[in-house]
Homo-oligomer: A and B are copies of this chain.
Amino acid sequence: MGSTERIKNVAKRVAKWHDAGHQMVVVPSAMSGETNRLLGLAKEIMPQPDPRELDMLASTGEQVSVALLAMALQSLGKQAVSYAGWQVPIKTDSAFTKARIQSIDDERVRRDLDAGNVVIITGFQGMDPEGNITTLGRGGSDTSAVAVAAALKAKECLIYTDVDGVYTTDPRVVTDARRLKTVTFEEMLEMASLGSKVLQIRSVEFAGNYRMPTRVLSSLTDPLMPLDEEARSGTLISFEEDTNMEQATITGIAFSRDEAKITVIGVPDRPGIAYQILGPVADANIEVDMIIQNQSTDGKTDFTFTVPRGEYTKAMDVLERSVREHIGAARIVGDTKVSKVSVVGVGMRSHVGIASQMFRTLSEENVNIQMISTSEIKISVLIDEKYMELAVRALHKAFGLESA
């Protein structure tokens, strides 16, 4: 939420839904810039503040929002009541700054709703078993919203963001990318984790765990737009696979620039070698994504994998220090100028030939494929980053995803 003007607009939107007979629970984020302001104060005190105190500090941002939103609704003549996470309570574990929700008590909220109130709950935070305030980390407000919706068995969870839905690919790369009316949970998971940063991956996982229909829609539209129009806007993350039957085989083209490739060359091809290479990498908390082991020649093989680009230097360090000599590898090479492009769609399950069409399209554009990985609903390729946009546009066209 931005200024108080923006809070008043949120109130108008919520009042509109409430007027139409819906019981409403609202989980606003902190006002724009507020969380950064608070964390900035902490940094002025010390570079690495204690996580418990950081949560005590950061949680105030959302508390300000809920109180102001309650007032704004009251000024529109609505009954409204705000709660901090601990008041609901939203119970979490004790992992300060990245806590996970364990349970939500719906009794108090339910009673307020039944009494005609709009209930406003702080996002991003809860209370641990010792009564400490915890925060959920990045995307925490979205996650809270989905979790509260699930606890209350809501009909739908609406997530208002600064985009108006999920697209077949990033409209900044492909100008005629099309907004998807619905997307299945599994597709959304692939789209989100592959770089379509509409929703934080954890809130998507939460929606999945509780099979909570979740709609991503724009907070920038006129708050007084007709309700039926708003209710059909955005993109619905659905748990009915049937809803996508009418759609194309392929739902979208996801991509990620945030990739780096590492190859361990001349590795003795013996059992356990993959673990000996990737174990130390995992121990350093580096996430490995695509993995390939070449066919062995003369008892030696090459082992290639990708890591987030920001972890590249750390990963190379770990390998040079704890792996190369230990396993008797010849040398380690890497490349940070690579990107991942993925074709995603549940329709893939029942259609053959998606992979071959993908590879043919890339071949026609002279894009060399460095690595391939597949799952039931996606095919990903790693390519030179300079061809990434070309590849996304060609695939978007080849699979007929452009808007009509």
Contacts and interface: CB of A to CB of B under 8 A. Distances in A.
Interface string A58-69: 011001101110
Dominant secondary structure at the A interface: helix
Contacts of A336: none
Given A46-B75, A50-B70, 7 more contacts: A4-B41, A42-B68, A49-B71, A53-B71, A57-B68, A60-B63, A87-B132
B68 A45 contact: yes
Interface stretch (A78-86, A153-161, A191-199, A236-244): A78-86
A2 to B, nearest CB: 12
21 contacts: A4-B41, A8-B45, A41-B64, A41-B68, A42-B71, A45-B71, A46-B72, A50-B70, A50-B71, A50-B74, A53-B67, A53-B70, A53-B71, A54-B67, A54-B71, A56-B66, A56-B82, A56-B84, A57-B68, A59-B63, A86-B86
A369 B44 CA distance: 57
A309 interface: no
Interface of A: 4, 7-8, 38, 41-42, 44-46, 49-50, 52-54, 56-57, 59-60, 63-64, 66-68, 70-72, 74-75, 81-82, 84, 86-87, 131-133
Contacts of A59: 63
A50 B60 CA distance: 19
Given A84-B133, A87-B131, A131-B87, A72 B56 contact: no
Given A38-B64, A63-B60, A67-B53, A74 B46 contact: yes
Contact of A4 (B45, B66, B86, B133): B45
Contacts of A56: 63, 66-67, 70, 82, 84
A72 B50 CA distance: 10
Given A63-B60, A70-B56, A86-B86, A45 B81 contact: no
